[in-house]
Amino acid sequence: MNAAEGITSLIFFGPPGVGKGTQAKLLAGELGVPHISTGDMLRAAAARGSELGKKAKQIMDSGHLVPDDVMVGIVREALASPEARRGFILDGYPRTLPQAKALVAMFDELDISLYRVVQFEVDDEELVRRLSNRLVCAKDGTIFNAQTDELTLRSPCPDCGGNLIQRDDDREATVRERLKVYKQTTEPVIHFFEQLGVVVSVDAGESVDMVSREIRLMLREDL
Ligand code: AMP
């Protein structure tokens, strides 16, 4: 790791819709480290129609969590890859306490001692607003907000002209279930990392630019 860059082994933690994916894409590009999004990996498996993908798609569309052993295997492989040697941004993992414990064990194996959990905080109403307005480019995965970016499902992607879609699990009933699962199962995992002294928190209610600036500043000052 280059100290001038700040800490480059990062876990983005927070509820669905909080902006983790948007920020992870930006910062990973800047730092030249992989953006490891477990949700994106599962959606890619579903699009390929693999056995794992088909099973995962059913679970994702119900708003529930894919089993821990499957997720631990996926993340172990991603972290052990040569691309992740200079750092990484994990987005959407861990979501349960066993996943968190498995992650810390992997860090030990891989000799990763300097890492941070960036906790994204925003109120629930804003989350529902963001999720119901979320549009994703089917071609390159860029995330937009229908309201603030003034786009509809019929608009071409402003970046690459691809089709914009709504994720199946961003429909209202699934969103409610995902937020429930987050509160019950995922949110408490932050206490595990707090005890390890590796958590930094960011106010994710601000604009994309402001949040991005805050994260970069925090990671540099935290060294
Ligand atoms: P995301 O794109 O991070 O919101 O993830 C979409 C869906 O993929 C989640 O609602 C889960 O069904 C599944 N998923 C992604 N990451 C995990 C994980 N770490 N553990 C269990 N399920 C996951």
Q: How much distance in Å is there from the Cα of 50 to the middle of ligand 1? A: 17
Looking at residue 206, its pLDDT comes to 93
Residues with CB under 6 A from ligand 1: 16, 38-39, 42, 59-60, 64-66, 71, 92-95, 99, 169, 178
The pTM of this model reads 0.91
Looking at residue 102, its pLDDT comes to 98
Q: How much distance in Å is there from the Cα of 57 to the middle of ligand 1? A: 10
Q: How much distance in Å is there from the Cα of 170 to the middle of ligand 1? A: 12
Looking at residue 1, its pLDDT comes to 43
Neighbour-count burial for 41-72, b at 16+ CB within 10 Å, e otherwise = bbbebbeeeeebbebbbeebeebebbebebbb
Please give the span between the terminal C-alpha atoms of the chain, in angstroms, as a whole number: 12
- Residue 17 falls in which region: left (phi positive, over 0), alpha (psi -120 to 50) or beta: left
Q: How much distance in Å is there from the Cα of 48 to the middle of ligand 1? A: 17
Domains of the chain, each with CATH number or no CATH: 9-33+86-221 (3.40.50.300)
Looking at residue 137, its pLDDT comes to 96
Local mean pLDDT, 10-residue blocks, the chain (223 residues): 67 96 96 96 94 94 96 96 95 98 97 95 90 93 94 96 94 90 97 97 95 92 70
Instruction: Transcribe 186-197 into DSSP letters.
Output: ITTHHHHHHHHT
Looking at residue 121, its pLDDT comes to 96
Handedness of CA 129, 208, 38, 146 (dihedral sign): positive
Looking at residue 2, its pLDDT comes to 44
**3-state SS, residue 130:** helix
Looking at residue 7, its pLDDT comes to 83
Looking at residue 222, its pLDDT comes to 72
Looking at residue 214, its pLDDT comes to 95
Which residues are annotated as catalytic? 20, 95, 134, 167, 178
Looking at residue 160, its pLDDT comes to 96
Pocket test for ligand 1, best of 22, 36, 38 (most atoms within 8 A of CB): 38
Residue nearest to atom 6 of ligand 1 (CA): 39
Q: By CB neighbour count within 10 A (0-12 exposed, 13-18 middle, 19+ buried), where does 11 fall?
A: buried
Six-digit token pair at 145? 């907000």
